[in-house]
Each structure stands twice: as structure tokens, then as C-alpha cells.
Structure 1
Amino acid sequence: MSQISISHLSFNYENSYENIFEDVSFTIDTNWKLGFIGRNGRGKTTFLKLLMGLYDYTGVITKTVDFEYFPFEIQNPSLLTSTIVDAIYDDYEIWELQRELSLLSLEPELLNRPFQTLSRGEQTKVLLAALFLKPHQFLLIDEPTNHLDLDGRQIVSAYLNKKQGFILVSHDRAFLDNCVDHVLSINKMNIDIQKGNYSTWLFNKQRQDQFEFNQDKKLKQEIGQLKTAAKQTENWSNAVEKSKNGQRVSGLRPDRGHIGHQSAKMMKRSKSLKKRQHKSIESKEKLLKNIDWADTLQIRPRAYQKDRLISANNLSLCYGDRPILKDLSFEINQGDRIAIIGPNGSGKSSLLKLLLGELIPFSGNLNLGSQLQLSHIPQDTHFLTGDLRHYSRCEEIDESLFKTILRKLGFNREQFEKDMKSFSEGQKKKVCLARSLCQSAHLYLWDEPLNYIDVLSRVQIEELLLKTPPTMIFVEHDQSFIDHLATKIIEL
């Protein structure tokens, strides 16, 4: 076992006014299975690239292992898969590669196929198998789940659970729980490492947040009481001081020495109360700074004139001669939250496109309610370009509401002036989410809405959809999201 030491690391992008990391120090054991979490835009991928030496930084990174970044960049996907594996690492015995493929439920025969003919999930698994063949490597695995279906995620999480020596960036809570033993979190004010899986980290985080809330409330009350007591004592002191110059009572002159002594005692007490007050204020200022305020989101579902929105009977889809779906029957009624699940390539996105009115050849019966208002989140976000103001106008949504939702999802105001091309994948997905939440619709069609979306935002979205449940049909591979939200399942 060896260690990776990060000491006083600071980094900011050129032309940026704020540091992404500032004076960060911590240590990682190279046998850890480390989950890496944090809000979109906090710098998770940037940190991995700093470890790889791709950016200049101040501070020191000390390590005794080499880093390998995943996903590996494929220059020529038309090559055979075996050639792709050899390009990553060629000093292996064939049985070693076959063992890794078997652990990932892949047949050795796919090594003889061009890499580009493999599904995205198969490509992910092959690259992981190749990278874990390398000895003395510490793997930096950046969001491998985005192209994995539910079954694929279970297989890869079980595979990673048998390994060690990696940092895994993922926002899938069930996936993290199954395969990590430590969690590295980028918080608002610091970077924190805890032993355990995601659920352990979440429990400790909630407990710490609740402790700070309670302390904050207690200190607010204490500060108020100290302010009142200090003011009263000061007033009494002033009143006593004034009495030194008061009139004689029954021919007696006031005892100015005694009065002065009493006044001094009260002033001393007032200063002591103010000192305690300042200490309480200082203690309060240390609280709540690391809490991510997950503001409540809003959605604007519209009631439809009838209970049933869509019905399908013996529905079949095909592309050319290739069947996609066969004899599928289902109904969508008001209040349904329907999850479409199935392996990659089973027709989930095609079904959504058909419901959106795209001209996909089909047979059977499909009845859509008249004047049905739909809101769609596409799987792909590469079409996003230009600034948010222009985008909101083109989409005919309220710009102020749109930006308010983005702020609640973790956007900084400076992002509002940038071209969306420069956004991270998670930020682009949030743009699509915010646009859909602004739209008043009878039915929401969401195609993998959580791809690249951070954990905190996923929880925000779940809470919204449970509080103000719209009628929706969605494709998603996050098991926790499906378990919490779906009222019905369509399995392809």
C-alpha cells in the first residue's frame, strides 16, 4: 500500500476570477475504492486532470503510482476491439483478458469485431477490462455509468467492487453504494474524505448539517439575549452615573464613591456581555458555510380534459427490416409516472420519439389525446449553443423563471453570460431540465434526464416530482430514481 499526497493545491482557469481549488491538502491510499462526488461545475474532472498533470497548478502532488484516465480516447474506432485493447496495454496473457471480460459478462468473441460495432455499454466494459490489466496503475474513472443500462450498471458495480485502487466519479447512488469504500466530496468550502459508501457519507453529512442548524439556532437566541442584557446593563450604568450629580435627599449628599463603584461594576459587566456576544457571533459565522442549500424547485403540470392521455395496443416498431419493438400495449393516464426500462438498443428512445410524433414506421394502434401539450428532454445535448437569454426566447419560456431554476440547480450567475458550448455535460442537461420545468404541459417525456447530473440535483428533482407529481413517461437507468418515482414500469 502506498499513498497519494496532495499538499496546498491551488488552481484556477485563465481569465477566471475565482480559484477552483485553494490551498487544498489531503491524502489518499492507493488501495482505496474511492467515490468522488460534488455539484456539477465544482471541479471533479478538473481535479482528475490535475492529477494527470494536464494543467499547471501551485502546490505539490506526490505519488508512487502512475495515473490512468478513463474513458480512454479511441482514435480509430473502426479497428478491431482486440487492437484497441492492445493499444491500451499489450503486455498481458490472453487468459487474463478473458478473465476480465468474463467478470464483465462479455463474450471473448467480441474482440474480433470492430470496436465501433459494439454498443456503448460494451465499449465501456471493454475499456475497463483493458485498463485493469495494467499493473501499478491508479485509475481515474470519470462517469462510466452514462452509457450503461440498469443491468450493465449492476455488472460494472460488482466488477469494481472486486477491484481496488481507483477514484470513481459517479452520480448514481446505488452504483456508488455497491462498489466504493471511501467517499471524496467537493463541498462549497472544502474537500472532505470519509470512510464508507455513499449512504454512509450522506448520513454523516445530514447529521453534521443538522448539528450546525441546531447550533446556529441556539447561537442566534444566545446573541439576542446577550444584546438585550448588555443594553440593559449599559442603561443601568448610565442611570447610576447620572445619579452622582443628583439632588440631595433629606439634606444628605449622594455617596459618589459608592455610586461610582456601582457604575464601574455595571460597565465591566456590560463589556463582558459584549465580549461573550462577539464570541458567539464568531462561532455562528463558522456554521452553515458548507451546506448546499437545495432550494425547492417548481413544475407547472397542466390537467388534461380526460383521464386517459395515450393508449397503445399491439404496437410494433422497426427500422428498415430490423424490428425494435413488438406487440407492446400500454396506457398513460393522468398522474402516471411511467419508467421505461430495458437494455440498450431495446427501443426506449424510439418509443418516446414515436409519442412525440416523429415519423417512425410502426404497426398496431396508437391513440394520442387531441391537443395534448408535451414537454420533452432529449438524451443528446450537443445542439445547445448560444447564450441562455436567446435560448429562452427561442423556446418561448420565461427568462427570469428559467434562470431562477438554474440558480437553484447550482448555476453561478457568471454562467448566464457564457456560450452553452462551454458548459459541462451536467450543466447542459440542467438547461434542458430547467426549460422543461418552465413549460406547462399535460405530459412530460424525459429521455435519460439525469445523465451527468450531480447527486444533490437528483434529490431536488425527486422531491419536486413527488411533491407536485406531473404525468410523465421517462427513460432512466438510476435505480434509486426509478424506485422513488415510478408508479408503473414498461419493460422492453
Structure 2
Amino acid sequence: MSLINVSKLTFAYEGTYEHIFENVSFQLDTDWKLGFTGRNGRGKTTFLNLLLGKYEYSGTISAQVGFEYFPFAVADPAALTMDVMQEIDPEMEHWKLMRELSLLRVSEDTLYRPFESLSNGEQTKVLLAALFVRENQFLLIDEPTNHLDAKGRKLVSDYLRTKSGYILVSHDRAFLDNCVDHILSINKTNIEIQKGNFSSWWENKSRQDQFELAEDEKLRKDIKRLSDSAKRTGGWAHEVEKSKNGTRSSGNKLDKGYVGHKAAKMMKRSKSIQQRQESAIAEKSKLLRNLESADSLKIAQLPYHKQQLVELEDLSIRYDDKTVCSGVSFALEQGDRISLSGSNGSGKSSILKLICGEDINYTGHFARDSQLSISYVSQDTSQLKGSLSEYAREQGIDESLFKSILRKLDFSRLQFEKDMSTYSGGQKKKVLIAASLSEQVHLHIWDEPLNFIDVISRMQIEELLLEYTPTILFVEHDREFCANIATKQVVLD
């Protein structure tokens, strides 16, 4: 066991005035299985790069171990996978590599295929095997789940559970819960470490948020009461002061000593109220700093004149000589939230594109009303550029609602002014989801919408979908999201 010490870390990207980290200090144990969570854009990948020494910073980071980052950069994807492994670690022992590949259920012949011919899931597993062959390194694992289907995620999560000495960035709750024993979270105003998995961290955070909300409400009432008392006391003091040079209504001369004593007493009381009010305001300012946005939104889907929107019966899809799926049968009705699942390459995206109206070769029965209006969220975000306002106009959506949804998903107003091409992968996916939810349509079709999106935003997207209950067909590998959202599941074998 050794420690990684971070002391007074401060960092901002060159040319910006925003600090990603400011005077941050904490310690990490190199034996921990550490889950790393936080909103998109809060600095998770930046922190990993600081550990790797890629940027200059103020403060200190000290460690008695080296750091290794996943995913590795592959210089020549056309090379044999074995050659890629040798390039990553020229001193790699073959038997150790085979041990790790066996645990990840990757066959040896995979090493003798071109790396680029492997599926995304196979590439992820091979690179993870190369990572865990290395010794005396603290491993920085950045979003390994993005190209894994549900079975692959479970396999990799079980694999990581047998290991230790890593930071894992993942937005999949079930994945994190299965394989981490500590959580490092980047909050709005601080960084904290807790023992346990993601669910225990979230439960503690929710408890703290509820406590702070109750305290905030109590202090609001106290501040208002003290403010009203201060006004009354101030009014009384003013009247007493005015009466110093006056006379009683009976004509008797005023006792100025008595009046002065009363005025001093009121002044003392006024100062006491003011101090209590300032103390309450100071206490209130310490609360809700890490409360995530929870504003309610008004979203409505267009009703359709038919109950059944789409029907597939004994449907098969082929590309050239390859059948990607066959015997698919299901109906999509208004109010359904259908999860379409299956292993990579089972035809999920092809079915979504067929329903959206793309020219896909199929056999069997497929029916979709030509008047059906659909909003489609694809996996690809590369087309996003320009300003959010321009994008809202191009899409014909309500800009105010569009930006309100993005605000709920942790977009700052400063982010609204930036070109979308500068956004992170998670921020771009949020743009597509917010735009889809702003469209006036009968049906939403989303293809792996949560890739790169942070876990808190995933939970808020769930809340939106459960609150306004749109008809939706989606492909998503996040098991928690599917379990919470889907009213029906269609599984492609």
C-alpha cells in the first residue's frame, strides 16, 4: 500500500479564466478500486491527465507509483493485435497476457487478427488485458463501457472486481456498484472521497441534500422573521429618538434619562437581531452548494390518432449476404417505452433506422403510418457545430425549452455562448437529447443516447421521461436506465 497525495492543486486551461481545480487537497490509497464520478465538463479526464503529467499546474501531486492510462493509443490499427500488444509493452510476457485474455473470455486467435478487424468490444477487452499485465502501476481507466453491450459490461465489471489499484471513470451505475470500493466525486464546489460503491455514495448525497434543503428552508424563515423584527425595532427606536425633545401629552416634562435608557436598550436589541440575521445568512450560504439542478420542466408529446404506431412481424434484415437479425416481432403503441436490446451486431440500429424511414432491405411484415412524426437521436454527434441558438432555429424547436433542459443537465450559461464543436462527447449527447425532447413529435427513437453522459444527468433524464411519459423506442446498455424506464423489453438473440 502507498498513497497518492494531492495538495493545493490549482489548474486552468491556458487562455481561460475558469479554474477546473482550485486549491484542492486529498489522498488516495493505491490499493483502492476507486470509482470516479462527476458531471460532464467538471474535470475527470483533466485530473487523469494531470496525474500523467501532461499539463502544468500549481500545487503538488506526489506518488510512489507510476500511472498508466486506458485506452492506449494504437498507432497502427492495421497491424496484428499481437504486434499492437508488443508496441504497448515490449517486455510483456505472453503467458501473463493469455491469463488476462482468458479471464476476459477472449480467444488466443484474436491476437493474430488485424486490430482494426476486432469489434469495439473485443478491442476494449484486449487493451484492458494489456493494461493489467503491467505491474507496479496505478491504472487510470477512462470510460471502458462506451463500446460494450450489456453482456460485455457485466463481464468486464466482474473482471475489474478481481483487481485493485485503479481509478475507474464510468457513468454506468450497475457497472460501478459491482467493482468499486471507494468513490471520488467532483462536486460543484469541492472534491470528496467516500468508502463504498456508487449507490451508497448517492444515498449519502441525497440524504445530505435533503438535510440542507430543510435547513435552508428553516434559515429562510429565520432570516425573514429577524428582518421583520429589525424593521419594528428600528421603527420603535426612531420614535423614541423623536420624542427626546418633546413633551408628554399631559404637558409634563419628559424624563430624558428614561428615554435615553430605553433608546440604548432598543439599540442593543437591534444590534443583537442584526448579528443573528447575519449569522443565519452566513449559515445559509454554506448550504446547497453541491445540490444539482432540479427545476421542473413542461414537456408534451403530440397525441396520435391511432393507438398502434409501428408493427413488425417475423422481420429479417440482410446486408449483402449477411443476415443481421431474423424473426423479429413486436408492436409499438402510444405510451410504450420499449427497450430494444441484444449483443453488438444483432441488428438493433438497423431496426431503428428502418422505423425512421431509411431504405433498409428486409423481409417479413413492417407497418408504419406515413403521417407518424419521429424524433431520432443517433450515436453520431460529429455534425454538431455552431451556436445553440442557431441549432434551435435550424431544428425548429423552442429555444427557451431547449436551453432549460440543458440547464437541468448542468449546462452553465457560459457554455451557451460556446461553439458546439468544442463540447465534450457527453455535452454533445445532451444537446441531441434536449433537442429531441423539445421537438413536437409522436415518437422518440434513441440509439445509445447515454454514451459519454454523466451518471447524475442520466438519472435526471430518467426523471424527465418518467414525468412526461413519452412514447419511446430506445437502445441502451445501461441496465439501471433500462430497468427504470422501459415498460416493455424486446431482446434480439
Alignment-derived partner of residue 200 in structure 1 = 200
Residue 470 of structure 1 aligns with an amino acid whose one-letter code is: P
Deviations 1:413-449 (A, max 9, x none): 2333333221110011111111111111111110001
Deviations 1:465-487 (A, max 9, x none): 11111111100000010000111
Alignment-derived partner of residue 19 in structure 1 = 19
Alignment-derived partner of residue 379 in structure 1 = 379
Flag the 1:177–1:43 CA change in 2: closer, same or farther, 3 A: same
Alignment-derived partner of residue 276 in structure 2 = 276
Q: CA deviation at 1:251?
A: 7.2
Counterpart check, 1:424 vs 2:424:
yes
Q: What RMSD over aligned residues (CA atoms) do the two structures have, in Å?
A: 1.6
Alignment-derived partner of residue 136 in structure 1 = 136
Alignment-derived partner of residue 439 in structure 1 = 439
Alignment-derived partner of residue 365 in structure 1 = 365
Write the mapping of 1:157-176 to structure 2, written as runs, cut at 5 A.
Answer: 157-176=157-176
Mapped contact 2:319–2:361 kept (Cα < 8 A): yes
Residue 22 of structure 1 aligns with an amino acid whose one-letter code is: E
Alignment-derived partner of residue 258 in structure 2 = 258
Residue 36 of structure 1 aligns with an amino acid whose one-letter code is: F
Deviations 1:316-355 (A, max 9, x none): 0111101101111111111111101111111111111111
Alignment-derived partner of residue 99 in structure 1 = 99
Q: CA deviation at 1:282?
A: 1.1
Counterpart check, 1:4 vs 2:4:
yes
CA distance, structure 2, for counterparts of residue 176 and residue 338 of structure 1: 25
3-state SS of 1:144 partner: coil
CA distance, structure 1, for counterparts of residue 248 and residue 209 of structure 2: 61
Alignment-derived partner of residue 285 in structure 2 = 285
Deviations 1:41-94 (A, max 9, x none): 111111111111111111111111111111111111111112112222243433
Q: Which runs of 5+ in 1 are unaligned?
A: none
TM-score, scaled to structure 1: 0.96
CA distance, structure 2, for counterparts of residue 481 and residue 148 of structure 1: 15
3-state SS of 2:402 partner: helix
How many percent of aligned residue pairs carry the same amino acid? 58
3-state SS of 2:236 partner: helix
TM-score, scaled to structure 2: 0.96
Alignment-derived partner of residue 82 in structure 1 = 82
Alignment-derived partner of residue 322 in structure 1 = 322
Residue 443 of structure 1 aligns with an amino acid whose one-letter code is: L
Please say which of residues 262-271 and 323-332 is displaced more in the overlay. 262-271
CA distance, structure 1, for counterparts of residue 279 and residue 468 of structure 2: 43
3-state SS of 1:145 partner: coil
Mapped contact 1:377–1:445 kept (Cα < 8 A): yes
Mapped contact 2:293–2:407 kept (Cα < 8 A): no
Alignment-derived partner of residue 32 in structure 2 = 32
Q: CA deviation at 1:464?
A: 1.2
Residue 406 of structure 2 aligns with an amino acid whose one-letter code is: L
Deviations 1:100-140 (A, max 9, x none): 11211222221121111111011101111110110011111
Residue 358 of structure 2 aligns with an amino acid whose one-letter code is: E
Mapped contact 2:51–2:67 kept (Cα < 8 A): yes
3-state SS of 2:133 partner: coil
Flag the 1:265–1:101 CA change in 2: closer, same or farther, 3 A: same
Deviations 1:214-238 (A, max 9, x none): 1111111112222222333333334
Counterpart check, 1:235 vs 2:263:
no
Mapped contact 1:316–1:326 kept (Cα < 8 A): yes
Deviations 1:263-317 (A, max 9, x none): 2122112111111111111111111122121333444311111111111111001
Please say which of residues 227-236 and 454-463 is displaced more in the overlay. 227-236
Write the mapping of 1:453-464 to structure 2, written as runs, cut at 5 A.
Answer: 453-464=453-464
3-state SS of 1:132 partner: helix
CA distance, structure 1, for counterparts of residue 139 and residue 195 of structure 2: 19
Please say which of residues 78-87 and 385-394 is displaced more in the overlay. 385-394
